Amino acid sequence: MKHSRWLCCAALALSSLCAQAQTAPAPTAAAAAAALQARIARVEQGLSTRIVVKGAPGRRRGLSERMAFHRVPSVSIALVNEGRVEWARAYGVADAVSGRPVDTDTLFQAASISKSLSAIGALRLVERGRLALDGDANRQLASWQIPQNSYTRAHAVSLRMLLNHSAGTNVHGYDGYAPGQTLPSLLQVLEGAAPANSAPVRVELAPASVWRYSGGGYSIVQLMMSEASGQPFERYMREAVLDPLEMRRSTFAAPLPEAWRDRAASAHDGSGKGIAGGGHVYPESAAAGLWTTPSDLARVLIEVQRAEAGQSARLLSRDMAATMLTRGLGEYGLGFFVENLGDRSSFSHSGGSAGFRAQLYGYTRSGQGVVVMTNSDNGAALIEEILCSIAAEYGWPEFRVIEKAAIAGDAEANRALAGGYRLLDLPAQVIADGERLYFQSELFGAQRMELYAEGKDSFFMTAQDMSLRFQRNHDGAVAGFELLRGANTYAATRTR
């Protein structure tokens, strides 16, 4: 009897233990979850500008503080580690007026990150034999032709050049259209015909001679893709790229469908004020038209990593992925900026449209990367600070914080440097404010960035890792400057 009673008690105890095991989380899983939360918290509290002034106090700041400082209503992040999305978080409000909260399903405009997906879509057509990377692009166009001139007669434009921004085409970027405005057709965009608000797309430099960023070139690619696929661009991209990657919260439709608008963030200018209508519409879809989320774009990032490693051919073969991530002219492959880092390569693209800024950044071979999206003209500066924090936490080889020594500003010297300049065919300004000096250019989102003096004509910025070296004529007057960014130098001439 006692033996039976002991067996009964033992059975009850075992049953109780089994029930606890089924309901209580495993200690290892709980510990992993806690470790991940601690890691996210360190990222949230570790923001810093890429360059810091030596001796400046308190360089690490919290995300909410920096969002307020930059007047960015919302930011959404998807962090990729070990080849998967390790975490995704969203902060702030999708619309500053209504206070509608943002979440990880909120859509943002990807702007020029659209080009990366468009390039993947074009390369899929190349692998199917429907387009050719090399040879005269006009032989692959039916309804419109790249106008011939002395440049194109000497050297024809190819699809490879268009994807690499080395075709010599114009139209750096597009301004978009306010909601309700009549949208131009793609042919009207290419011809610069009303109601298009952009210049005609033309070849203005010798093809394959120089790298020059061109949204206009990607509009030519858009037409090539539509004609080769026999489908409207938006439909082809859904079937060829978005659906295979299960990007269910992404669309190239212009304008954004009514049913999706409640899920979209609203655009805001640099003062934090909402842009009328919630943002602009971009019928130049291949160059700037994608609405998406960081988590959806992270699927693209991971697929590129897997294709490059030969682990997936869902979109592109390993050879084609290698072609895409091989630099042509400039710092650009086919659809991505590319940097060879020795043990790995980085591939990236930023995006900037009216009231939105975004960044996709990934690494081959390490399975790491991130997508950050914001709904503010000031978002680029905040994104840079977030990348510095992530790099410190995850041991990335880039975005390390650098200290630089600065000397005191000189109000009189600053006045001599202030004025208008021309940088990469776009206006730039140097602005004096007493002992402080600022740099501003549309190339970098028209954000005003402070310049810190290292010498009489040598300055650095903390907002981005860039330096300016002013150049003078024989009479000592300022003639222009050189902008140093990474290993590249860009010349600017003074206009006033």
Read off the pLDDT of each residue in 180-198 and give the average, rounded to a whole number. Answer: 98
Query: Across-strand partners of 349?
Result: 360
**Percentage of residues of the chain with pLDDT beyond 90:** 86
* HSE of 132, CA atoms in CB hemisphere, 13 A: 10
- pLDDT tens digit sequence for 168-180: 999 999 999 999 9
User: Is there a single domain that holds both residue 271 and residue 332?
Assistant: yes
User: Is there a single domain that holds both residue 310 and residue 257?
Assistant: yes
Q: What angle do CA 436, 488, 121 make, to 5 degrees?
A: 115
Lowest mean pLDDT among 136-140, 159-163, 271-275: 271-275
- pLDDT tens digit sequence for 388-447: 999 999 999 999 888 899 999 999 999 999 999 999 889 999 999 999 999 999 777 677
Tell me how far apart the alpha carbons of residues 270 and 72 are, in angstroms, rounded to a whole number.
8
pLDDT at 5 over 50: no
Per-residue model confidence (pLDDT) at position 26: 60
pLDDT at 1 over 80: no
Closest CA to 473 of 416, 410, 412: 416
**Within a domain: residue 301?**
yes
Residue 474: pLDDT band (50, 70, 90) is very high
User: % helix / strand / coil in the chain, to the nearest 5?
Assistant: 35, 25, 40
Number of domains making up the chain: 2
User: Is there a single domain that holds both residue 114 and residue 238?
Assistant: yes
User: Is there a single domain that holds both residue 242 and residue 319?
Assistant: yes
Q: Got the DSSP string for 316-333?
A: S-HHHHHHHTS--STTB-
3-state secondary structure of 454: coil
- pLDDT tens digit sequence for 287-310: 999 999 999 999 999 999 999 999
C-beta of residue 238 within 8 angstroms of C-beta of residue 252: yes
Tell me how far apart the alpha carbons of residues 78 and 495 are, in angstroms, rounded to a whole number.
42
Which stretches of 170-325 are DSSP H helices? 186-191, 215-229, 233-237, 285-288, 294-308, 318-324
**Within a domain: residue 17?**
no
**Within a domain: residue 20?**
no
**Within a domain: residue 152?**
yes
Tell me how far apart the alpha carbons of residues 174 and 181 are, in angstroms, rounded to a whole number.
15
User: Is there a single domain that holds both residue 336 and residue 445?
Assistant: no
User: Is there a single domain that holds both residue 361 and residue 276?
Assistant: yes
User: Is there a single domain that holds both residue 137 and residue 285?
Assistant: yes
**Within a domain: residue 358?**
yes
What domain range is 266 assigned to?
Answer: 108-377
Per-residue model confidence (pLDDT) at position 402: 86
User: Is there a single domain that holds both residue 339 and residue 448?
Assistant: no
User: Is there a single domain that holds both residue 455 and residue 324?
Assistant: no
pLDDT at 206 over 80: yes
- Domain with residue 489: its CATH number is 2.40.128.50
What rounded mean pLDDT belongs to the chain?
Answer: 93
In the listed set 362, 377, 392, which residue is the last one of a domain according to the structure?
377
**Within a domain: residue 10?**
no
- Domain with residue 287: its CATH number is 3.40.710.10
- pLDDT tens digit sequence for 80-112: 999 999 999 999 999 999 999 999 999 999 999
pTM of the model: 0.84
User: Is there a single domain that holds both residue 356 and residue 452?
Assistant: no
User: Is there a single domain that holds both residue 136 and residue 238?
Assistant: yes
Read off the pLDDT of each residue in 472-491 and give the average, rounded to a whole number. Answer: 91
Tell me how far apart the alpha carbons of residues 236 and 170 are, in angstroms, rounded to a whole number.
26
Read off the pLDDT of each residue in 118-130 and give the average, rounded to a whole number. Answer: 98
For residue 194, give the DSSP letter: T
**Within a domain: residue 387?**
no
Residue 15 structure tokens: 């049953």
**Within a domain: residue 234?**
yes
Residue 9: pLDDT band (50, 70, 90) is very low
Q: What long-range pairs does 180-185 form, CB within 8 A, spacing at least 24?
A: 180/277, 181/281, 183/254, 183/255, 183/281, 183/283, 184/283, 185/283
User: Is there a single domain that holds both residue 483 and residue 347?
Assistant: no
Residue 7: pLDDT band (50, 70, 90) is very low
Per-residue model confidence (pLDDT) at position 464: 76
Per-residue model confidence (pLDDT) at position 11: 42
